[in-house]
């Protein structure tokens, strides 16, 4: 199955503060900002590089409330890496293939992700403790 790393998601308390930190430290640029009510986040994508299958990014995530995936993560573990997202050419096909190997899918069907992408999550306990996201980038 073709895969690349699309982004690494970082949970934080203060999005603006962490954007400034990543811009200052790594000289990255914010290419998209979004509020995703369904995922319970306010987020920013910082561009790293472009590759054959699409770009790669750091995704900074601030929770919209305590009772959201990122809000619960911050309360339990504090700030840091929240998930790794693999870029795939067809998210529905990737869900079917990976699901057939016994990995639990957290989404029954793809949902709306950053920059017009389609996304789905895999249970961290079935992937060595790493919350994993599958991303099909928006077609251009």
Which residues sit at the interface with ligand CMX, rule CB under 6 A? 9, 36, 39, 41, 59, 61, 69-70, 72-73, 82-83, 106, 113-114, 121, 124-125, 129, 131, 133
Which residues in the 76-135 window bind Co ion by CB under 5 A? 85, 133
What DSSP string runs through 15-52?
Answer: HHHHHHHHHHHH--EEEEEEEETTTTEEEEEEEEEEET
What DSSP string runs through 42-72?
Answer: EEEEEEEEEETTEEEEEEEEEESSTTSHHHH
Query: Using CB under 5 A, which of 9, 63, 69, 87 touches Co ion?
Result: 9
Nearest approach, Cβ of residue 132 and ligand CMX (Å): 9
Helix (H, G, I), strand (E, B) or coil at 90: coil
Distance CA 97, CA 103 (A): 10
Nearest approach, Cβ of residue 36 and ligand CMX (Å): 6
Contact 124, 69 (CB under 8 A): no
Nearer to ligand CMX, 27 or 132 (CB): 132
Nearer to ligand CMX, 39 or 136 (CB): 39
For 3, the token pair is 């895969």
Nearest approach, Cβ of residue 32 and ligand CMX (Å): 11
Nearest approach, Cβ of residue 137 and Co ion (Å): 12
Interface contacts to Co ion, rule CB under 5 A: 9, 59, 85, 133
């Amino acid at each position: 199955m073709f895969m690349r790393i699309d982004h690494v998601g970082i949970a934080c308390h203060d999005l603006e503060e962490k954007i400034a930190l990543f811009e200052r430290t790594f000289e990255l640029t914010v290419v998209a900002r979004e509020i995703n009510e369904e995922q319970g986040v306010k987020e920013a994508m910082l561009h790293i590089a472009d590759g054959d299958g699409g770009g790669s990014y750091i995704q900074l995530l601030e929770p919209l409330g305590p009772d959201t995936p990122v809000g619960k993560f911050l309360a339990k573990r504090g700030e840091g890496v929240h998930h790794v997202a693999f870029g795939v050419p067809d998210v529905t096909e990737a869900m079917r293939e990976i699901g057939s190997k016994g990995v639990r899918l957290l989404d029954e069907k793809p949902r709306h992700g950053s920059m017009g992408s389609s996304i789905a999550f895999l249970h961290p306990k079935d992937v060595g403790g790493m919350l994993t996201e599958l991303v099909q980038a928006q077609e251009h």
